[in-house]
Amino acid sequence: MLTTTFSQFMLRSGIYSGSNTRAMVPDLFRGLGAKRVVLFSDRGLEKAGIVEKTAQIFELTTHGIGPELAGIYLDIKQDAESSCVNDAVRYAREVGADALLAVGGGSVLDTVKGVKYCLHKGLTNINDAIPGGFLMESFPEAAHIPIPHIAIPTTAGTGSEVSPIAVIYNEELKLKTNIINPFISADIAVLDPDLTVGLPSNITAFTGFDALTHAIEAFASPNATALTDAYALHAVRLIEKNLLTVVADGENLQARMDMLHASLMGITAFSFALNAIPVHNFAHAYGAMFRIPHGLANAVFLPAVMEGIPSLYLPKIHQLAEALNVETKNEDAPTVLNKVIDKIKLLQHKAGLPADFSDYSISEGDLEKVITAVALDPAAVSFPMPPELIYAISQKVVPAGVK
């Protein structure tokens, strides 16, 4: 059997963490050489007052020496739609932006990565960069992108602020497309837990499960290394300890901070162990077809996929159980896997998350289309699943008796 010791691990983003760290943003931009910054966010965060909280920091910078806020763009929708990316690119060019500030959840953070890529490559349509749905550019072919870029996540889930991956939804193809490039992540990630305290408990829950899914898929990956395992396992520990706390008490700043760190560690492990990601494969396909929020899709699929593909999780299940605080005694791997799945289902239930997609109108007839969508998703390339398996896992998450 041919084996290789080659692996790749790259932490490119500077990380500033702590309450009120957003106040450092203008100075950080000045250090990056920025003059005209555009703040990108969404309408929900505008209503929540987060946009204003961030924008007003620029009023405090001494006129003439700090970068100025050249504009605010807020029309970003769920799933980083390609049309939003293209509109945002046009806006950035119109206001003469030379720097990008992303404030939001994964959709905003990924949209701004798409904007940065388009500005750098001189594109007007992000879809032109990803005609086949998947673009992977690695170092040294991928070069530094000299556009100052700071990201402030408002959810602890995607970790998109530091990941080399942008997931862009192509509305025409109804497909989640991917750009992977080590230089599209933010130059600096600012993890300010103050900006996550107002996040509703249901979004807190499913974004937390997105981070948990990243960590578990990274840990189970055939490409996992000691580096990715360290990040994945500690992310799992932090989520097990803090998720229910932040769902019950969103004002708990220490727990919010721990979840932001867990999110960042989970995606870092995931990005550099990238191989078999069946949970994400299902979540991408269902999310694109039925417009299910990504974190919610991952939350529902995680235990279902672990039950359906036990062979992927059994080799390292005792370590995963330990990270999840599951008592294992001297039990065999299949018994421990069942206990781990039970623990995940318990977390899902206590966090107020559904165990299936009964809130979405998915019919038995849709399941045939789902098989095709899961098989064609870019995530299926490394780990293709037979139609029977896709159908069996789908049946676990679509309520019985649907027609």
Whole-angstrom distance, CA of residue 391 vs CA of residue 370: 8
Whole-angstrom distance, CA of residue 329 vs CA of residue 353: 29
In single-letter form, the type of residue at position 238 comes to L
β-bridge partners, 100: 38, 149
Taking alpha carbons only, the member of 213, 358, 212 closest to residue 283 is 213
Within 13 A of 222's CA, how many CA atoms are on the CB side? Answer: 10
Taking alpha carbons only, the member of 294, 33, 261, 267 closest to residue 150 is 33
Whole-angstrom distance, CA of residue 71 vs CA of residue 65: 18
Q: Residue 274's pLDDT is what?
A: 92
- Alpha-helix residue ranges (DSSP H) falling in 191-332: 201-220, 226-248, 253-272, 278-290, 294-308, 310-313, 317-323
Token reading at 301: 């699929």
Whole-angstrom distance, CA of residue 339 vs CA of residue 136: 37
> Contact, 218 vs 231, CB < 8 A?
yes
Token reading at 45: 């965060």
Whole-angstrom distance, CA of residue 357 vs CA of residue 397: 6
pLDDT digit string, tens, across residues 152-205: 999 999 999 999 999 999 988 888 899 999 999 999 999 999 999 999 999 999
Residue 113 has pLDDT above 60, yes or no: yes
Strand duo 165-170 + 175-180: pairing:
antiparallel
Handedness of CA 33, 36, 41, 47 (dihedral sign): positive
Strand duo 149-153 + 99-104: pairing:
parallel
Residue 401 has pLDDT above 60, yes or no: no
Whole-angstrom distance, CA of residue 45 vs CA of residue 342: 35
Residues in the chain: 403
> Contact, 259 vs 243, CB < 8 A?
yes
Q: Residue 3's pLDDT is what?
A: 59
Whole-angstrom distance, CA of residue 277 vs CA of residue 315: 16
Specify the DSSP class assigned to residue 62: P
pLDDT digit string, tens, across residues 58-98: 987 656 677 999 999 999 988 889 999 999 999 999 999 99
Whole-angstrom distance, CA of residue 382 vs CA of residue 378: 9
pLDDT digit string, tens, across residues 239-293: 999 999 999 999 999 999 999 999 999 999 999 999 999 999 999 999 989 999 9
Whole-angstrom distance, CA of residue 247 vs CA of residue 145: 37
Instruction: Name the percent of the chain lying above pLDDT 70.
Output: 97
Q: Which residues neighbour 223 within 8 Å (Cβ) at sequence distance 6 or greater?
A: 7, 272, 273, 274, 275
C-alpha dihedral, 211 to 217 to 223 to 227, nearest 10°: 40
Residue showing tokens 């791997």: 333
Q: pLDDT class for 360, splitting at 50, 70, 90?
A: very high
Q: Number of helices (H) and strands (E) in the chain: give both, helices first.
A: 15, 9
> Contact, 138 vs 182, CB < 8 A?
yes
Q: Is the pTM of this model over 0.85?
A: yes
pLDDT digit string, tens, across residues 205-234: 999 999 999 999 999 999 999 999 999 999
Domains by residue range for the chain, with CATH: 14-195 (3.40.50.1970), 201-396 (1.20.1090.10)
Token reading at 237: 């520990």
Q: What is the DSSP string of 329-363?
A: TT--HHHHHHHHHHHHHHHHHHTT--SS-TTS---
Q: Residue 88's pLDDT is what?
A: 98
